[in-house]
Amino acid sequence: MNTTVIVANPSTDSFSKSIMEKVLNTLKEKNKSYEIIDLYNDDFNPIMSEEDVKLYTKGETKDELVKKYQKVLKETNQLVCIFPIWWNSCPAILKGFFDRVFLKEFAFTEKDKRSVGLLTNITSGLVITTSETETDYMVKELGNPIESTFVKGILNVSGITNVKWINENLADNNEESENKFLDSIVNYV
C-alpha cells in the first residue's frame, strides 16, 4: 500500500508538523511506503490562471508540479491530509491544490450531469485537522464544514471513499492532551 501525506501549514513548528511526524513514523514502523506533499515546502502556487481555467475542462495542465502530484496520486492507495482549520475550512493553499490538481478527467468525469469519481485507486482517506474551535460546535452549530465540504464535496466526489476525519481542538490544550491525540493517530494510519 502506498500512502500519500498532504500537509498544508506554513509553520515549521506547528502541531500539524508534529502530526505529520507521527504519521510518517507510524508508516515507517508498519513498513508502508509513502510520499509527502508539503504544499508550503514545495512552494505550490494555488492560484488558477486564465490558462489553467481553459485547460481545466480538458483535464490538462502545463504545470510540472501539478503533473508530479497527479502521478503520485495515481499510485496512492491511502490519502492522509493534515491541516489547520481556518474560517471553518482548509487553508487556501490546500483548496488551490484541489482546484489545480483534481482536474476533470483526472479526479472525476461527468455522467448524466453528475460527477463520477476517478480516483478509486485511493481506497481510504484520513483527514487530520487542528482547530481553535470545539469539534462538537463545528459539527452541530456550523454544519460540519469539514465533513460536508472537504470529505464529501471533494474527496468523495473524486472517488475517494472510506474517509475518516479527526480533529484536535488546540484552544485549551496542554502537552498531555496533545500527546494523547498524537498517540491515537496510530489507530488510523
Q: Work out the mean pLDDT of the chain and round it to a whole number.
A: 93
- Of residues 145 and 105, the one with the higher pLDDT is 105
Does 129 score more than 90 pLDDT? yes
Considering Cα of 81, then 86, then 87, then 91, what sign does the dihedral take? negative
Torsion of CA 9, 11, 15, 16, to 10 degrees: 20
3-state secondary structure of 139: helix
- Does pTM top 0.85 for this prediction? yes
Beta bridge partners of 168: 130
Does 13 score more than 80 pLDDT? yes
Q: How confident is the model at residue 172 (pLDDT cuts 50, 70, 90)?
A: confident
- pLDDT tens digits for range 136-161: 888 898 989 899 999 999 999 999 99
Please give the residue range of the domain that contains residue 9.
Answer: 2-187
- Confidence (pLDDT) at 135: 83
Find the mean pLDDT for residues 29-46: 97
Beta bridge partners of 3: 34, 78
3-state secondary structure of 163: strand
Find the mean pLDDT for residues 14-43: 95
Measured distance CA(42)–CA(171) in Å, rounded: 29
CATH number of the domain that residue 11 is part of: 3.40.50.360
Count of structural domains within the chain? 1
- Confidence (pLDDT) at 12: 87
3-state secondary structure of 80: strand
- pLDDT tens digits for range 57-87: 888 999 999 999 999 999 999 999 999 999 9
Measured distance CA(2)–CA(163) in Å, rounded: 16
